[in-house]
């Protein structure tokens, strides 16, 4: 892990433009909260982190705040709100708003170094747009890309579970892996594209630095890891579920085909995670190991060229178990039955005041489900506000899930 300042000083005297490309499940949300909490300290060291205002932190909105921590995403959502355009996928913001937002942020920077951060920057469309802009920007800026990378098995498994745990897909693991690798770009392709076109690439091992991601990030910036002027945020809550819980939600989606039940299971499993510390280290799953061996080895070798010895990503296949041979625990079945029972009670009460079938409203998706929206967004449910009003006035601009 080299020092950006020394690297730039030895090359030229251009201003610095630093992109933190957050790969899923590598601490990106926590890093963005860290950057937002230390705007003034960063500025004291000549580094701008623009548009970093965040809403007050509460237990109910803490994870949502982390998810919206990207300063570029918040800027683009503001632009979308001004044009009264609704986007349901962060990457859809890229085509109409990324270039204009980037130029505006650059123009209003307060120092010679500027950090822009976002998990969405590892998606294909933002990667394409940004790297297309690099040659023009490099006339004035030395462009550095920073990314944390982790063991490919853990990365893929976490990505699959995150999609289910947030309600954005309900594909069984095998189908998800097939879709993931059938895309023209994976996150690994995006990193290698950035590496070819940026002035410098700084990859950091998540696995070796997860005990202090903030210190590792400061070190890459050329700042002392133990610098007392930088305040670490309190422990982050990052909802996750176990492999079995993810499989159970997939089965409910396939056989029961009711969105409220999926939402009820997601809500229940996240609550269990906070209370009982689930998501312990799980055995390697052979389907993932085979997918890595088939699709990723050349890319992992290319990425390892940017990592120091002792911190390179694993390329040897691990032994493990097929997901079809992982048995459900009795508690998983109990969870399913209790969730179905609770769902019936919830629908019986809520349908009097929160009808599931809604008349067409401008800006409201046709498949909007009020009950699911409240289950997937417990802070809205606890606030006892109308789910439709909340989604139209806040939720759609915050990227909240509704089905």
- Over the stretch 176-186, which tens digit does the pLDDT of each residue have? 999 999 887 88
Range scoring the smallest mean pLDDT among 1-5, 169-173, 263-267, 287-291: 1-5
User: Where is pLDDT greater, at 95 or 2?
Assistant: 95
Query: Rg of the chain over CA atoms, in angstroms?
Result: 22
Q: How far apart are CA 1 and CA 11, in angstroms?
A: 18
Q: How far apart are CA 71 and CA 80, in angstroms?
A: 14
What per-residue confidence (pLDDT) applies to 58? 36
- Is 90 exceeded by the pLDDT of residue 120? no
Whether 169 contacts 225, CB under 8 Å:
no
Helix axes 297-304, 286-295, angle to 10 degrees: 70
87 and 158, same structural domain? yes
Cβ atoms within 10 A of the Cβ of 291, count?
A: 21
Q: How far apart are CA 157 and CA 288, in angstroms?
A: 8
380 and 270, same structural domain? yes
What per-residue confidence (pLDDT) applies to 348? 53
What per-residue confidence (pLDDT) applies to 346? 60
181 and 106, same structural domain? yes
The total of structural domains in the chain comes to 2
Please compute the mean of the pLDDT values over residues 138-143 and round it to a whole number. 94
117: β partners: 20
Side-chain-side CA neighbours of 395 within 13 Å: the count stands at 25
Please name the helix (run of DSSP H) or strand (run of DSSP E) that holds residue 252, with its range, or none: helix 243-255
Mean pLDDT of the chain: 78
Q: Percentage of the chain with pLDDT > 70?
A: 72
The confidence band for 195, taking pLDDT boundaries of 50, 70 and 90, is very high
226 and 115, same structural domain? yes
The CATH number assigned to the domain holding 92 equals 3.40.50.300
Please compute the mean of the pLDDT values over residues 368-385 and round it to a whole number. 74
Q: Among residues 237, 255, 289, which one ends one of the domains?
A: 237
Closest CA to 32 of 102, 155, 121: 121
Please compute the mean of the pLDDT values over residues 381-394 and round it to a whole number. 78
| C-alpha dist (Å) from residue 74 to 10, 37, 104, 127 | 34, 16, 13, 18
Please compute the mean of the pLDDT values over residues 366-389 and round it to a whole number. 76
- Over the stretch 332-371, which tens digit does the pLDDT of each residue have? 767 777 776 666 666 554 444 444 444 556 678 877 877 7
260 and 350, same structural domain? yes
* Residue 392 placed within a domain: yes
Predicted TM-score of the model (pTM): 0.76
- Rounded (10°) CA dihedral 54, 264, 86, 396: -30
202: β partners: 146
* Residue 311 placed within a domain: no
Range scoring the smallest mean pLDDT among 100-104, 196-200, 356-360: 356-360
270 and 233, same structural domain? no
Q: Among residues 237, 261, 290, which one ends one of the domains?
A: 237
Query: Can you give the residue range of the structural domain that contains 343?
Result: 243-281+321-398
Please compute the mean of the pLDDT values over residues 223-230 and round it to a whole number. 86
Token readout for 386 is 């109308």
- Is 70 exceeded by the pLDDT of residue 84? no
What per-residue confidence (pLDDT) applies to 277? 38
* Residue 288 placed within a domain: no
- Over the stretch 256-308, which tens digit does the pLDDT of each residue have? 556 666 676 777 676 665 443 334 456 789 999 999 999 999 999 999 999 99
- Is 60 exceeded by the pLDDT of residue 53? no
262 and 326, same structural domain? yes
What per-residue confidence (pLDDT) applies to 369? 74
């Amino acid at each position: 892990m080299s020092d950006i300042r020394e690297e730039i000083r030895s090359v030229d005297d251009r201003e610095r433009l630093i992109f933190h490309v957050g790969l899923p499940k590598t601490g990106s949300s926590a890093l963005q909260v860290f950057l937002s909490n230390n705007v003034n300290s960063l500025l004291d060291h000549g580094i701008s982190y623009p548009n970093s205002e965040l809403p007050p932190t509460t237990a109910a909105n803490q994870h949502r705040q982390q998810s919206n921590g990207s300063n570029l995403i918040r800027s683009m959502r503001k632009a979308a709100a001004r044009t009264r355009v609704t986007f349901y996928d962060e990457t859809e913001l890229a085509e109409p708003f990324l270039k204009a937002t980037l130029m505006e942020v650059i123009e209003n920077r307060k120092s010679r170094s500027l950090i822009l951060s976002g998990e969405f920057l590892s998606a294909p469309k933002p990667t394409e747009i940004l790297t297309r802009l690099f040659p023009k920007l490099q006339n004035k800026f030395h462009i550095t890309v920073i990314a944390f990378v982790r063991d490919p098995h853990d990365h893929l498994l976490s990505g699959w579970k995150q999609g289910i745990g947030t309600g954005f897909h309900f594909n069984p693991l095998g189908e998800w892996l097939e879709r993931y690798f059938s895309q023209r770009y994976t996150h690994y392709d995006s990193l290698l594209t950035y590496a070819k076109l940026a002035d410098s690439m700084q990859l950091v091992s998540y696995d070796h630095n997860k005990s202090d991601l903030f210190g590792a990030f400061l070190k890459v910036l050329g700042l002392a890891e133990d610098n007392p002027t930088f305040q670490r945020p309190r422990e982050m809550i990052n909802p996750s579920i176990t492999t079995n819980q993810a499989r159970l939600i997939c089965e409910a989606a396939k056989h029961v085909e009711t969105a409220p039940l999926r939402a009820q299971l997601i809500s229940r499993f996240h609550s269990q995670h906070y209370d009982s510390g689930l998501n312990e280290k799980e055995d390697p799953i052979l389907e993932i190991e085979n997918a890595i061996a088939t699709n990723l080895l050349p890319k992992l070798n290319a990425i390892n060229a940017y990592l120091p010895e002792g911190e390179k990503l694993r390329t040897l296949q691990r032994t493990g178990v097929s997901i079809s041979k992982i048995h459900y625990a009795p508690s998983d079945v109990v969870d399913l039955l209790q969730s179905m029972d609770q769902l019936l009670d919830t629908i019986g009460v809520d349908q009097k005041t929160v009808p599931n079938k809604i008349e067409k409203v401008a800006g409201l998706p046709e498949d909007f489900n009020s009950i699911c929206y409240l289950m997937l967004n417990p802070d809205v449910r606890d606030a006892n506000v109308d789910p439709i009003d909340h989604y139209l006035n806040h939720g759609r601009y915050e990227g909240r899930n509704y089905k």
